[in-house]
Amino acid sequence: MPGTVRDASGVGRFHGVTLENGVAAPEKEKVVLVKKEGGSHWFRRFCPCCCRTQSSFDIPEKEVEGKEEEKLWNSVPVAFLLPTQHLIKYFLLELTFTVCSVDLLSSKMGQNRKEHHTDLYYSNDLIIRRGQMFQMEIELSRPFCPNTDRLHLELKTGSLPLVSKGTHVIIPLVDELEDNCWEAKIVEQYNKKIKLYVNSPSNALIGKYSLAIALQGTEGEETKTHESGKDIYMLFNPWSEEDTVYMESEDEKKEYVLNDTGRLYYGTEKQIGARTWNFGQFDQDILEACLYILDKSEVLASGRRNPVIVVRVISAMINSPDDQGVLEGNWSGNYAGGTSPTAWSGSVDILRKYYKEDGMPVKYGQCWVFSGVTTTVLRCLGIPCRSVTNFQSAHDTDVSLTTDVYFDENMEPIHHLNSDSVWNFHVWNDCWMARPDLPPGMGGWQAVDSTPQETSQGTFRCGPASIAAIRNGQVYLKHDTPFIFAEVNSDKIYWQRNADGTFCQIHCEKKAVGHFISTKAVGSDKREDVTHLYKYPEDSEEERIAVETAIRYGSKPDAYSSPTADDVRVEVQLEGEGPRMGSDAKLKILVKNLSSHPRKTTLHSQVAVMYYTGVLKGTVKKDKTPVELMPNEDWVLPYNQYQDQLVDQAALMLTLSGRVSETQQVLASQTSFRLRTPDINIKPEGEAVVGKQMSAKITFTNPLPCTLRKVVLRIEGLGLRDLHPIEIGDVGRHATVTVTEHFIPSLVGTRKLVASLDCKQLTQVHGVSDIDVREIAFLFLKANIILHLGEIRFYV
Annotated binding site for Ca(2+): 489, 491, 538, 543
C-alpha dist (Å) from residue 695 to 537, 682, 720, 741: 49, 10, 10, 5
Q: Of 117, 226, 426, 515, which residue is the catalytic one?
A: 426
**Active site includes 449?**
yes
Q: Name residue 333's amino acid.
A: G
CA distance 11 to 31: 13
586: phi > 0 → left, psi -120 to 50 → alpha, else beta; which? beta
Length of the chain: 796
CA distance 662 to 598: 8
CA distance 452 to 325: 11
In sequence order, which residues have a C-beta less than 8 Å from that of residue 454 and are 6 or more positions away?
A: 397, 460, 462, 483
Across the chain, which distance is largest between two alpha carbons, in Å?
133
CA distance 713 to 361: 23
Other C-beta atoms lying within 10 Å of the C-beta of residue 671: 22
Residues 99 and 138: beta-carbon distance below 8 Å: yes
In sequence order, which residues have a C-beta less than 8 Å from that of residue 716 and are 6 or more positions away?
A: 278, 345, 346, 348, 349, 722, 723, 724, 753, 754
Which residues pair with residue 456 across a beta bridge?
459
Nearest to 105 by CA among 144, 139, 134: 134
In sequence order, which residues have a C-beta less than 8 Å from that of residue 770 and are 6 or more positions away?
A: 750, 751, 752
3-state class (DSSP) for residue 249: coil
CA distance 101 to 93: 16
Residues 132 and 115: beta-carbon distance below 8 Å: yes
Q: Name residue 166's amino acid.
A: G
Q: Where are the alpha helices (DSSP H) in 419-473?
A: 467-471
CA distance 433 to 422: 29
Helix axes 367-381, 286-296, angle to 10 degrees: 100
CA distance 765 to 762: 7
Q: Which residues are annotated as a binding site?
A: 489, 491, 538, 543
Helix axes 307-317, 286-296, angle to 10 degrees: 90
> Which long-range contacts (C-beta less than 8 Å, at least 24 apart) are formed by 721-727?
721/753, 722/348, 722/349, 723/345, 723/346, 723/348, 723/349, 725/758
CA distance 487 to 420: 11
**Active site includes 772?**
no
Q: Which helix (H) or strand (E) holds 534?
A: helix 531-534
Q: Strand ranges (DSSP E) for 217-335?
A: 224-235, 261-268, 271-278, 327-329
Q: Point out the residues that are catalytic.
A: 367, 426, 449
